[in-house]
Every structure is written in structure tokens, then in C-alpha cells.
Structure 1
Amino acid sequence: MSYLVNLSLAGKKVVVIGGGRIASRKVRRLIELDEVPNIFVVSPGFCSDFPEHFKIEQQRRKYQKGDLNGAQLVFACTNHQEINQEIANDAETWQWVNDVSTPAHSDFTNTGLVEIGDFTLGISHRFKDPRATKTFCEDLKKTFHLK
């Protein structure tokens, strides 16, 4: 069972390892926050629509253990499950890691979001299938004509 929370990431360091679609989506959600955290992204390459923002530091190279220093949240978003597992293994016990290749091995997952006026509903599939969460959110939006 999971425990849903809202986090204030103001002044926090968030590390994203990976530069593809999933990493781009994670970073895009981070820069939409009212107070954008300090974002450090490491990847040998970045997809063409990877977001740019003054609080994003990008390093075009492979992951190194020291990349996690000082991070409160870590997103392991590479296309290689072994590297994502290495990132999770390298993290300190106080760092929260999201391994996108293996949600069951993650400390946290992102919820799907559905906005209704001033409210935001967080939808979670409890570390099982992120695609099911995405589909459920899309279905809710269509059914209730939401954005």
C-alpha cells in the first residue's frame, strides 16, 4: 500500500538521470511547480523537446555515483534497467528514488493528475502499472470533459 503526499520541493535538489521522453516528462512537471526546485540532469543525449529552464543544470555524459550528492529526490529514467538499479543502489537511505523501469523497486512513484477547478486529484496504481494510471486519468478527463 502506498501513502500519497504533496511535497514542497522549494529549495530542494532533484536529480534526473536520463534525457529521453520519460525524463523530459518528469522535468516538465517539475518546472510547472509554483516554486521550481534546483534540477540537475545527466544524460549522454537529450530528446529534441527536452525542456529548458534557468533552474535546470544539464550534463551531457554518463551517470556517475557522485551525481546524487545533495539530492532529495532522484529519478532514474534511463533506458537501461541495470543503470537504473545502480542509481537506486548508490542512493543514500534518506534519498527518495523513483526507478521508472521497476516501480516496485522505487521509494516513490508519481501520481497521475486530474485537475478540477482549484483541486488536483492524484491517481495512483500503487506501484504496479504506471500505464494503467495514465489510461485511468485520460478516461476520467474524457468522461467528465476535464483538461
Structure 2
Amino acid sequence: MTYYPLFLDLTDRPCAVIGGGKVAERKVLSLLDAGADVTVISPKLSSTLAGLAAKRTVKLTHLKERFKAGMLEGFFLVVSASSSKAVNALVSKEGRKFGAIVNVADAPELCDFIVPSLVKRGELSIAVSTSAKCPGLAKELRLELEENYGPEYGEYVEILGAIRNKLLKDKRKYDNKERLLHELFVSGIPELLRSGSISELDKLLISILGRGYSLASLGAGIKE
């Protein structure tokens, strides 16, 4: 199977998760983190999911019943995390009937998409997949990446994003944009962020880009 890699904007999209255990919990949390409007269909919920469902500030609805045909109309994305193979097969069939994209835990043959192992650092996302051949390997690679790419990379991306936006509007530097960004990529910014050397980082940015590119000018909000 060859998969097309992509990132979906799920903001306010109606998504359904069938199941209320630990696997379903992980799926729900990741969907909520993406801004989805989540409905969980299950007679019971894990304590974490039950707590979330009780909060009015969280876009999570609990349908306290067993899954049956006809429940998936109107959903954009459906995830089945049931312990029952029969339920998972029915969810896959029903989701596709209503035009939803479907993921079934540990059953790639029933899926329209699979979920990669993910390293998330602010706006930086690094996804690893073995196309469902060996999820354990994807997890091991993710753990390695987590060691190499710490939380400072979230700040790094914010700084680079602010710089790129300013370069796009700076006619004097626009033609050299790619060269300047490459200089930043190899200049050791993550190491300075990791060590908290913010004043040194400011000097570095100004030396490469000029005085209009200090952290304060960029509005990056990085503090020592």
C-alpha cells in the first residue's frame, strides 16, 4: 500500500470516535488538540474522557450507547477504537457510506488513512510512518527524534516564521531571502535557545539580517 502524506485542518470539523478506552482516549486527545469537534460513541468512557466530556469548554460530546448503523451521517472523519472486530468492520462500512474518511485502530485494511507517529514541537511536526507495516519501529524512531529535537525547536520555528514574513515584505533583502534563511539554518540558533543565550541570539540575528531583525522587532516574544 502506498499512502499520500498530508496534514489535515480539522478546526471545528465534526469527528467521531467509537470506543471509550485508552486507545480511544489517545485518538480523542489528538483530535481535540487539532481543534476538531469530537463525538465519542461508547457506553463507557475512561476517567480522562469522562472528565473532558463534563467540561463545557471542551468540544467533546458523549453518546452513551453502543454503535449501530446510521450513526455516522454528517461526520467528516471517523475513528474506530473498539475491541470488537465486528464493530470496527461496521464502522468502516458505515463511515464510507456517509462519505467520511475512516481510521480503524490496528486494521489498515479497513482504513482510508493511517496516523503516523508524531513529534510535536509548537508548530513543528515531524511524522514517521512505516505504512502500518511495523508501528513499533515508527515509535522507536519517534523516540530518537524526541531526543534530538527538544522544545527549543518550537521557539525556533516561531522565530524563523517571523523572519520569513518580514523578509517577504523587505524589498532590499527579498532577493537574498533563500541565502539569508540558509545562513540562519546553519547558525546554531536551537543551541542558543536551549542554553538560554537570548542576548547572543539577538546579536546573531542582527549580524546576519540587520538591526530591524532583533527579537523585539520581530515580536517573537522569546525570554531569557
Residue of structure 2 in register with 1:39 after alignment: 38
CA pair 59-119 structure 1, distance change in 2 beyond 3 A: same
More strand by share: 1
SS in 1 for 2:70: helix
CA pair 24-8 structure 1, distance change in 2 beyond 3 A: same
Is contact 1:16–1:40 with CA below 8 Å preserved after alignment? yes
Is contact 1:104–1:127 with CA below 8 Å preserved after alignment? no
Instruction: List aligned pairs for 1:101-112, cutoff 5 A.
Output: 101-112=106-117
SS in 1 for 2:41: strand
Identity %: 26
SS in 2 for 1:78: coil
Pick aligned residue for 1:141 from 141, 146, 149: 146
Q: Give the RMSD, CA atoms, in angstroms.
A: 1.9
- Could you give the per-residue CA deviations for residues 57-99 of structure 1, whole angstroms, max 9, x where no partner exists? 1011100222211011000100111110111112226311101
Aligned equivalents of 2:66, 2:46: Cα separation in 1: 15
Residue 44 of structure 1: CA displacement?
A: 1.4
**2:101 equivalent to 1:96:** yes
- Could you give the per-residue CA deviations for residues 21-72 of structure 1, whole angstroms, max 9, x where no partner exists? 1110011111212xx2211111111112226153111011100222211011
Is contact 1:97–1:107 with CA below 8 Å preserved after alignment? yes
**2:9 equivalent to 1:8:** yes
Residue 133 of structure 1: CA displacement?
A: 1.9
More helix by share: 2
Aligned equivalents of 2:87, 2:29: Cα separation in 1: 22
Greater relative CO, 1 or 2 (CA 8 Å, sep 6+): 1
Q: Which runs of 5+ in 2 are unaligned?
A: 152-224
Q: How many residues align?
A: 144
Larger Rg: 2
Task: In structure 1, give the amino acid aligned to 2:93.
Answer: N
Residue of structure 1 in register with 2:68 after alignment: 64
Residue 101 of structure 1: CA displacement?
A: 3.2
Aligned equivalents of 1:60, 1:9: Cα separation in 2: 24
SS in 1 for 2:11: coil
Residue of structure 2 in register with 1:30 after alignment: 31
Residue of structure 2 in register with 1:121 after alignment: 126
